[in-house]
Amino acid sequence: MASIASLGVGSGLDLNGLLNQLESAERQRLQPLAVQKASFQSQISAYGKLEGTLSQFQNSLAQLGKAETFAAVKSNVFGDAFSAAANSEAVPGRYSIAVEALAKSYSSATIGLDDKARELGAGDIDITLANGDTHTISIAADASSLDQVRDGINAAQNDVVASVINDGDATSPYRLVIHSAKTGEQASVSNLSFNGFGGELTSDSATVQAGTNARFTVNGLTVESASNQVEEAIQGVTLNLSKAGETSELAITRDSNAIEKSVKDFIKSYNSLNSTVRDLGSYNAETQSGGRLLGDSSLRMVQSELRSIFSETVVESSSFTFLSELGIARELDGSLTVDDEKLATVTNEQLGDLTTFFTGQNEQPGFSSQAKTVIDRLLDENGVISTSTEGMKSAITRIDERIAREEISIGQTVERYRTQFAQLDSMIANMNSTSSYLTQQFDSLNAQLGRK
């Protein structure tokens, strides 16, 4: 039987179109699998969203469980002598700080030269610091311009910094300036000498400025510091001295606003979690559509665990047992609201009890620790979210394997149809050819017999 290169050529039938229709019909077998796979993928995405909001809530609980959160302070400076920054270790109080002198770094310059690019000749620079450290820097003759001497000094050590300036002198404006990398007496240079360099590189004694320490008093107590940034004079406070001969006041007070914000951040984070849980398990009767985890047993377990957070008794030694006593109420939809005035009163008047409620005391866990234990359990690698997600991923893998098998089966079926159609096409082509031949023979015979 003759081979047909393109279906339908021999028969004149639209066999390719018919074959495509048959393939489309066969591929309908994949549709339920695709729908099922999309459903699993949607649920995995929903679990990812749920896991994300649980993690955010977990972080807010961790922050609320730290004692330093409730030790937040703020600093106010009255005057221009210094600026200040306080951390949670600072103790509320008021301090009078008089700045007598600021810390300075050592500085000196050489006499001026006419050309900073001219080679001076080989030489050595000897540097001795007040703390006893020494440096000897050797400069080669072919690298002895003022710019190259500067680069050699800076490359050899980190205690002093060299630079080249132009002081505007009409004949010899270029000077090498040396200054200590740090302020203070011990970082100052006690000896600086230049040996060699054709005798052209020498110090200008009139430019020498010794390194000095900062001196100031805190409530009458004298303090010295090698730096103008002082971190140990007042517990938990960093001072940045800026103006000598001035006295300014520093007030360290408890930062109630920051403490209240931490509590409100916890509420905001929980409400976001509660909203996510409700949305994922919701049902809209008007649109007859449901959340991606509607009826899901794992979501119901998460909801149950979250409800348990608010039913446990907190530290017995605290004056507070429930969130409601802090001005935090749980609404019918599960969200939390806060009475700002009541929370502010508790923060200002019962800060110790508030701290104990959230952070715990004497190995007794506080609210934050108890709640975080629940969230940790949900987010554990063996927890309900992880196991449910992995189960769905396994189901998707099985669906993919089934789809792959169905694809092979569909391909084999289509090929079988293609072969049958090719045979049909060839057969019809032969029949048409035979019919045409017979017609020609009959026409010829009729002609011979004079019938036409």
Same domain, 241 and 270: no
Residues 305 and 394 in one domain: yes
The burial class, CB within 10 Å (0-12 / 13-18 / 19+), for 64 is: buried
Dihedral sign for Cα atoms in the order 280, 389, 61, 363: positive
Same domain membership, residue 199 and residue 273: no
31 and 88 inside one domain: no
Residues 41 and 120 in one domain: no
If asked whether residues 337 and 263 sit together in one domain, one would say yes
Of 209, 225, 245, the position where a domain reaches its end is 209
| Beta carbons of 309 and 371 less than 8 angstroms apart | yes
400-447: pLDDT as tens digits = 999 888 888 888 888 887 777 677 767 777 777 776 777 776 667 777
Range of the domain at 338: 1-71+256-452
Question: Model-level pTM?
Answer: 0.70
- DSSP sequence for 299-357: HHHHHHHHHHHTTS---TTSS--SGGGGTEEE-TTS-EEE-HHHHHHHHHH-HHHHHHH
Q: Are 147 and 201 in contact (CB under 8 A)?
A: no
Res. 448: pLDDT tops 80: no
Single out the residue in 143, 178, 209 at which a domain terminates: 209
Inter-helix orientation angle 31-64/256-280, to 10°: 160
337 shares its domain with 446:
yes
> Is the same domain home to 133 and 227?
no
3-state SS, one letter per residue, for 401-428:
HHHHHHHHHHHHHHHHHHHHHHHHHHHH
Are 67 and 85 in a shared domain? Answer: no
User: Do 248 and 343 share a domain, yes or no?
Assistant: no
Q: What is the structure's pLDDT at 3?
A: 42
CATH number of the domain to which 135 belongs: 2.60.40
Tens of pLDDT, residues 137-180 = 999 999 999 999 999 999 999 999 999 999 999 999 999 999 99
Q: Are residues 150 and 90 in the same domain?
A: no
- Average pLDDT for 38-66: 92
Share of the chain above pLDDT 90, in %: 62
**Final residue before a domain boundary, out of 179, 209, 239:** 209
- Does residue 188 surpass a pLDDT of 90? yes
- Whether residues 266 and 399 fall in one domain: yes
Percent with pLDDT over 70 in the chain: 93
Residue 10 pLDDT class (50, 70, 90 cuts): low
- Number of domains the chain is built from: 3
* Structure confidence by residue, pLDDT tens digits, 253-282: 999 999 999 999 999 999 999 999 999 888
